[in-house]
Chain A
Amino acid sequence: MLHTEVRELKLPDTPSPGMRVKSGDTMPAIVEVNDLRKTYSGGFEALKGVSLTIQAGEILALLGPNGAGKTTLISTLCGITQPSSGSAIVGGHDIQKDFREARRLIGLVPQEVALEPFEKVINTVRFSRGLFGKPRNDALIERILRQLTLWDKRDAQIKELSGGMKRRVLIAKALCHEPRVLFLDEPTAGVDVELRRDMWQIVEELRQDGVTIILTTHYIEEAEAIADRVAVINGGEILLVEQKAALMKQLGRKVLRIDLTTAVQAVPEALAGYDLELSADGTSLTYTYDTRAERTGITRLLQDLAGAGLSLRDIQTKESSLEEIFVGLVKEGAA
């Protein structure tokens, strides 16, 4: 599993739990991307040799800022864009040589809402199923439409639907041919809370059915909430692929907040070496430390706090979010 190694980022040599899963034999790879490059006719290099292995049944969040190459990567895997070089295999089928078999396995929910405005909901979903070479299955389509609360709207023309409803139709179209790999390109961008919750629910159900889900997002909380692994892409390159938990563990910085019984004017001299931040009202101190470090300095800090005569009312620690990790990574990549 060469392709999932961490790039451009120095991580501890000791294997993390995430790394063990990556090299494990239990989960077969369903998508293998090998040195995929895409240069558009204008000369823009959207993908600069992307390699990535995605295991069957996992949820991978592809995280990156706008223009990072997320959509190009998905479009290339789905057949909308042709790669300039490199290869990709989906379910054992080469996406170019054996495109028919590869694409049969793939469902795509695109970022842009693109639907035939004058067609009825149910017909456009049936069309998608037929297009993917599947015989008509009204029971399945009913189940999907009900799941997406579209059943009552099945005879409505697309143009009569709200934005959120249209997005549901796109999801129904992607699911109606029973894909094994589902690409969700920014599925919750501009979507209301209710749909976002439904989406996550559907993703969870699909996961239970063993569907592999690749989701692009720049909402980090989305990745944090549902992904098993996170890949960070920027400037057409994968910066890192890691188990979400391991990533947060490895890269995460923790914040220790110390609430004081009585407010102080300034950080006492004796604690100057700790880089503490005092809150505006003088009642709490925050200390940021690296969980990867051999010594976090917490024990000494607590002793020194007592030594400085401060009495503590409460202490709490908080893990840094993926967002903070992500911003750090992208900055590091750009440097």
Chain B
Amino acid sequence: MNFLAIGAIYKFEMARFFRTLLQSFVSPVLSTSLYFVVFGAAIGSRIQEVEGVSYGAFIVPGLIMLSVMTQAISAASFGIYFPKFIGTIFELLSAPVTFFEIVIGYVGAAATKALFIGTVILATAALFVDLEIQYPLAMVAFLLMTCISFSLFGFIIGIWAQSFEQLQLVPLLIVTPLVFLGGSFYSISMLPPVWQTITLFNPVVYLVSGFRWSFFGQADVSIGFSLFAIAAFTAICLFLVWRIFKTGYRIRS
């Protein structure tokens, strides 16, 4: 294992993050605050409580998930796409590193960024609402798994993308709608029965539900399903990354 190389990639990627600290730090704080103003204050004043939890607190896990998923994808996909775009990928390909080490470096850095943003949002949210985390260990585990699996997913998108447009395609057209429709801001039980069934095909539902369970001890779907969903998603991403490695897909001609 070339740990020095993993460390070099990780540091290099984190430096990119710190160069854009304003965007990395201020932007999630601002958008979270806006969500609280709009959803929490405006809508929350009419909804009051969802399943015994104040609406303001209820949306916190969904908000964190929304940002963590999109940030993990964008950080990891940009991280590997940019060297492809500007040509510096030659150095990674000619270095004494395995593809596995490259993945650890990039995905590790992207997951760290996503985790940082998730934590910032959690802290911001705590300023607006009273938060109680019933299962802190489960919460951290869910958050970590989401950071890692969506960073892996982002890495795959970054390898696949051949233009900046394609890079944005999956996060904007697939992930954002899935997250918004995945029960981030409402409980599935609030939907008409038909939509409740349809929603169950949305994988994000299981992640948000599981994450919310770690906060409030209640979930739309059973926690077992949630764990299975995130494990399955991680496994699919790992399989795709392994295939990319085997075939050199869109990186090594």
Contact = CB atoms under 8 A, between A and B. Distances in A.
Contacts of A126: 8
B90 A114 contact: yes
Contact of B87 (A112, A132, A173): A112
Contacts of A81: 252-253
Interface string A111-140: 010111111000100111111111100000
A295 to B, nearest CB: 52
B96 A130 contact: no
Interface string A57-91: 00000000000000000010011111000000000
A131 B95 contact: yes
Given A130-B5, A130-B8, A133-B96, A115 B88 contact: yes
Interface residues of A, number: 36
B81 to A, nearest CB: 13
Contact of B94 (A40, A106, A118, A135): A106
A229 interface: no
Interface stretch (A97-105, A268-276, A303-311): A97-105
Interface in B58-100: 82-83, 86-88, 90-98
B4 interface: yes
B38 interface: no
Interface in B17-37: 19
Nearest to B10: A130
B243 interface: no
A108 interface: yes
B221 to A, nearest CB: 43
Contacts, number: 86
Interface in A223-255: none
Contacts of A118: 16, 19
Interface string B232-253: 0000000000000000100011
B11 A131 contact: no
A101 B96 contact: yes
Contacts of A82: 248, 252-253
15 contacts: A75-B90, A79-B93, A82-B248, A82-B253, A99-B96, A100-B96, A101-B96, A108-B90, A116-B86, A118-B19, A119-B15, A123-B15, A130-B4, A130-B7, A131-B9
